[in-house]
């Protein structure tokens, strides 16, 4: 059968939710597609590519006046779309052939630290600090938002504090439990992460969640907040702990780096770096996690700018739960959860990983 184009975005999103997709793609010159278990594939094999007019009609079916105006002016718009049946992170961009729309399906069910498979004994201490910086890192689609939501949700039940989240857009909605939670959306409620963070410090929060630390000003403010008695949870698009620290230092002018290294060595509590790896049996994806906990040895490496020595330090820090990404991948392979190919492909040190397979 040939498929006619559905007349509203919501119909595609309903299908995506029903079949467990993580994203739905509606793009000009491309058949409607979705991402399931990490794989992007057409929803129907025999669907014709969307024409420019069809994509435009679909965009108009769900964009409000303000979003439409932003798309007209800037050529792209990102926002949280709520259609009553679910919440979605919607992104609409204008490209050479027409409009492209991508929807991330946000699970309304906040998953707990245990559900995600995080090592609870070593993660809990990180959530109980009254100041400092906890970073969740990984590439796009590696489950950072899910992990961050689990941490905030735990703090929300565990402490009696004021939590402030700064997000772009708001994904998971937190109801105040034993904490008082305020959520602010960048663009809707405030202009930028940096502006929101500056305002946040005047609102007397105990815990601040910063959706993305992408520029000098935001990183600077987050570090200052972490130093002055706030627990700051943030995300960065970096692959592992050493790279995350390098990335933070790289945004600062050279003459400030020594001072920043000292600041980071003192305020960092821990870094969780994660990736989602396809399971060997094809049933979904599993979390591979690297955990760095700031011990005196780690702080020393950061202060002296020797981040390349961290993997070695992490191997000796197993008692506080430290684990490198490669160790985590090896563990999943030994348990039979992932294939040797995936394990090698995602390894940091491929030479060592090959040696491991040959031994």
CA distances from 101 to 25, 86, 205, 262, 339 (A): 6, 17, 36, 43, 33
152 with 268, same domain: the answer is: yes
Q: Encoding tokens for residue 216?
A: 């000098």
pTM, two decimals, is 0.86
For 166, phi and psi rounded to 5 degrees? -120, 115
Closest CA to 269 of 223, 308, 329, 219: 223
Alpha-carbon distance of 90 to 105, in angstroms, equals 9
102 with 117, same domain: the answer is: no
Residue whose structure tokens are 């230092």:
249
- In order, the DSSP letters of 132-157 are EEEEEE-STTSSHHHHHHHHHHHHHH
68 with 130, same domain: the answer is: no
Tally of domains within the chain: 2
351 with 312, same domain: the answer is: yes
172 with 227, same domain: the answer is: yes
Mark which of 106, 125, 157 sits at the end of a domain: 106
Alpha-carbon distance of 21 to 259, in angstroms, equals 45
29 with 144, same domain: the answer is: no
The per-residue pLDDT for 201 is: 85
Quick: pLDDT tens for 160-201: 999 999 988 888 889 999 999 999 988 778 888 888 889 888
Alpha-carbon distance of 225 to 132, in angstroms, equals 8
Mark which of 58, 76, 106 sits at the end of a domain: 106
Does residue 233 sit within a domain?
yes
Q: Coil, helix or strand for 42?
A: strand
In the predicted structure, residue 1 carries a pLDDT above the cut 80: no
For 276, phi and psi rounded to 5 degrees? -100, 120
Does residue 287 sit within a domain?
yes
Alpha-carbon distance of 288 to 285, in angstroms, equals 9
Alpha-carbon distance of 316 to 303, in angstroms, equals 19
Does residue 127 sit within a domain?
yes
Cα distance between the two ends of the chain: 53
Does residue 123 sit within a domain?
yes
191 with 43, same domain: the answer is: no
The per-residue pLDDT for 185 is: 87
196 with 273, same domain: the answer is: yes
For 326, phi and psi rounded to 5 degrees? -65, -40
157 with 15, same domain: the answer is: no
51 with 118, same domain: the answer is: no
Closest CA to 24 of 109, 111, 83: 83
CATH code at position 35: 3.30.450.90
Residue whose structure tokens are 């990335």:
247
86 with 152, same domain: the answer is: no
Mark which of 106, 138, 168 sits at the end of a domain: 106
Alpha-carbon distance of 125 to 61, in angstroms, equals 46
If one compares 55 and 194, the residue with the highest pLDDT of the two is 55
Does residue 3 sit within a domain?
no
Q: Above pLDDT 70, what percent of the chain? A: 99
Question: Which residues sit opposite 289 in a β-bridge?
Answer: 274
Quick: pLDDT tens for 196-236: 889 888 889 999 999 889 899 999 999 999 999 999 999 99
In the predicted structure, residue 2 carries a pLDDT above the cut 70: no
The per-residue pLDDT for 109 is: 84
Average pLDDT over residues 29-51: 93
Burial of 253 (0-12, 13-18, 19+ CB in 10 A): exposed
- Domain with 216, as residue range(s), is 113-358
CATH code at position 126: 3.40.50.300
Closest CA to 76 of 56, 64, 92, 88: 92
74 with 99, same domain: the answer is: yes
CA distances from 142 to 132, 232, 272, 288 (A): 24, 20, 12, 10
Q: Above pLDDT 90, what percent of the chain? A: 81
For 186, phi and psi rounded to 5 degrees? -65, 140
Does residue 300 sit within a domain?
yes
Q: How many CB atoms lie within 10 A of CB 157?
A: 10
Quick: pLDDT tens for 118-164: 999 999 999 999 999 999 999 988 999 999 999 999 999 999 999 99
In the predicted structure, residue 324 carries a pLDDT above the cut 50: yes
């Amino acid at each position: 059968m040939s498929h006619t184009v559905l007349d509203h975005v919501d119909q595609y999103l309903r299908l995506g939710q029903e079949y467990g997709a993580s994203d739905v793609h509606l793009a000009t010159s491309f058949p409607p597609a979705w991402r399931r278990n990490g794989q992007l594939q057409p929803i129907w094999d025999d669907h014709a590519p969307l024409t420019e007019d069809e994509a435009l009609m679909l965009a108009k079916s769900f964009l409000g006046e303000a979003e439409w105006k932003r798309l007209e002016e800037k050529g792209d718009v990102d926002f949280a779309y709520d259609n009553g049946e679910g919440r979605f992170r919607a992104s609409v961009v204008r490209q050479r052939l027409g409009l492209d729309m991508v929807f991330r399906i946000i699970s309304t069910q906040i998953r707990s630290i245990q559900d995600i498979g995080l090592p609870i004994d070593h993660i809990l201490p990180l959530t109980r600090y009254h100041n400092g910086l906890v970073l969740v890192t990984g590439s796009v689609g590696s489950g950072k938002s899910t992990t961050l939501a689990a941490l905030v949700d735990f703090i929300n039940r565990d402490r009696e504090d004021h939590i402030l989240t700064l997000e772009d857009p708001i994904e998971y909605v937190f109801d105040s439990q034993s904490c008082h939670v305020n959520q602010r959306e960048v663009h809707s409620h405030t202009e930028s992460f940096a502006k929101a963070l500056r305002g946040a410090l005047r609102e007397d929060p105990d815990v601040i969640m910063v959706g993305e630390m992408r520029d000098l000003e935001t990183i600077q403010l987050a570090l200052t907040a972490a130093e002055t008695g706030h627990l700051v949870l943030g995300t960065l698009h970096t692959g592992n702990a050493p790279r995350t620290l390098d990335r933070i230092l790289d945004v600062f002018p050279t003459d400030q780096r020594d001072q920043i290294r000292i600041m980071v060595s003192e305020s960092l509590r821990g870094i969780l770096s994660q990736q989602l790896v396809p399971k060997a049996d094809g049933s979904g994806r599993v979390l591979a996690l690297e955990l760095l906990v700031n011990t005196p040895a780690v702080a020393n490496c950061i202060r002296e700018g020797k981040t390349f020595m961290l993997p070695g330090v992490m191997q000796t820090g197993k008692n506080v739960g430290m684990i490198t990404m490669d160790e985590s991948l090896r563990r999943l392979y030994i348990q039979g959860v992932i294939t040797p190919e995936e394990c090698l492909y995602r390894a940091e040190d491929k030479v060592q990983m090959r040696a491991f397979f040959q031994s």
